Structure 1
Amino acid sequence: MFSQRKTDPFFAALLSIAEHVREAMHYANDFKVTSVADLKEVSIRLKEYETTGDDMIHDLISKLNTSFMTPIEREDILQLAIKMDDILDGIEHFSANLEMFSLTDIDEYVQKFMDNIVKSSDEIVKAMELLSRKKLVAMRDHAVLIKEYERICDEVLRTSIKQLFIREKDPIRIIQFKDVYELLEDIADHCQDVANAIETIIMRNA
């Protein structure tokens, strides 16, 4: 169905967006926060990632609006890009809340969420690399893994909130950490949305 000789510019754009999301996720996960100043630095940097991501989406939309033909349905390209951008929006919102609450004492549950979200971002890039090479069916394995990481995050959410109410006595910290856990689960859900968009593209085009 596709020419194998060169990368389609729309697929290349989707890969660039995926790589940008992965870079932001790894940055957030690798940065070691020890102070409120660190939280501010991370928040500012992730806002920059989010803004750049918005610019990339805008450029893609402009290309879609001016192109006569696209390799797959325009709606599928746009949905995939928007779902990836939602991940960036989510991690920026998460970091902003950490900075707003001055939460420097990240617990093991936040780390478990982040580990699985980072793995999901890695799988999204692998899937987009396959898309850029027009290997649609092979993307399915990566979509399955993303959904598995989201399932793990569901379990982490249940456990983290249960333990939060058991061990924490300060009602303000309960509210703060519950909000943080739920924001992280939202990011995992956005990753699953990307997996669903990938499967839709496979179903319609493979």
Structure 2
Amino acid sequence: MFNPKKSDPFFVSLHKIAENMRDAVHFANDFNIDSIADLKELSIKVKKFETDGDNLIHELIVMLNKSFMTPIEREDILALAIKMDDVLDGIEQCFAHLEMFSIPELDESMRTFLKYITRSADEIVSAIDLLNKKDLTSMRNHIILIKDYERECDEVSRSSIKQLFLNEKDPIRLIKYKDIYNQLEDIADHCQDVANTLETIIMRNA
């Protein structure tokens, strides 16, 4: 078991992965999109976050391969890192598709998705902070919020796709927007996967 009074290098690595993911989500959510050129710039910058995330995952794997002892199960460390990376990959892919589809403005549904995803990213970082402190009980509060936000995204997905099929007459535009809505819902699901992995870690270390 890990020492709650000392920062373990594995938790430092996980925290870096979490922060990079959170920073990418916040950057995408806060970026002001007024044109196709803005979308291109955003896509490039989010790709940089994704590349940085891949490098951090690689560093963690190297550390796992070299270490005999880990503060928690090495499978749990790797699973948690990969689940957080899935969130980052989803953000990168979503905004790459927005740029590819030349959708110059985020609609209300997309903004609502991003609001809950951003909140989930914040909760993930807070939960990782508590993991390093071995405050497993308090971690559950953040896990609950992440799952609440995922349920909110489910509602946004259902309502937005329903309205899309009711009101959109252009079949190409319908396909584009449905794709983006589905990708955003997948990102919320990835956040919930992180929460589920954290729950597994709590169960094994309580």
- TM bracket, shorter-chain basis: over 0.9
- The whole-number CA distance in structure 2 between the counterparts of 1:160 and 1:33 is 21
Query: What is the match of residue 77 of structure 2?
Result: 77
Count of residues in Structure 1 that have an aligned counterpart in Structure 2: 206
Q: Aligned to 2:169, what secondary structure does the other structure show? A: coil
Q: 2:4 and 2:120 mapped to 1: Cα distance?
A: 27
* Equivalent position of 1:53 in the other structure: 53
The residue type paired with residue 180 of structure 1 is I
Query: What pairs up with 1:107-126 in 2 under 5 angstroms?
Result: 107-126=107-126
Aligned-pair identity in percent equals: 64
Unaligned runs of 5+ in 1: none
Distance in 2, Cα, partners of 1:200 & 1:10: 17
Match of 2:67 in 1: 67
Paired position in structure 2 for 1:173 = 173
The C-alpha deviation readout for 1:45-96, integer Å capped at 9, x for no partner, is 0111001000000000000000010000000000000000000100000000
Name the counterpart of 1:139.
139
User: How many angstroms apart in 2 are the aligned matches of 1:152 and 1:69?
Assistant: 40
Q: In the alignment, what sits opposite 1:188?
A: 188
Supply the AA of the counterpart residue of 1:11: F
Q: Distance in 1 between matches of 2:3 and 2:93?
A: 40
Q: Which moved more, 1:137-146 or 1:91-100?
A: 137-146
The residue identity in structure 1 corresponding to 2:167 is: R
- How many Å separate the matches in 2 of 1:188 and 1:53? 18
- Structure 2 segments unaligned to the other structure (5+ residues): none
Pairing of 1:78-93 with structure 2 (within 5 A): 78-93=78-93
Report the equivalent of 2:152. 152
Letter in 2 for 1:92: E
Deviation at 1:105, TM superposition (A): 2.4
RMSD (CA atoms)? 0.8
Please tell me whether the aligned partners of residues 64 and 74 of structure 2 are also in contact (alpha carbons under 8 angstroms).
yes
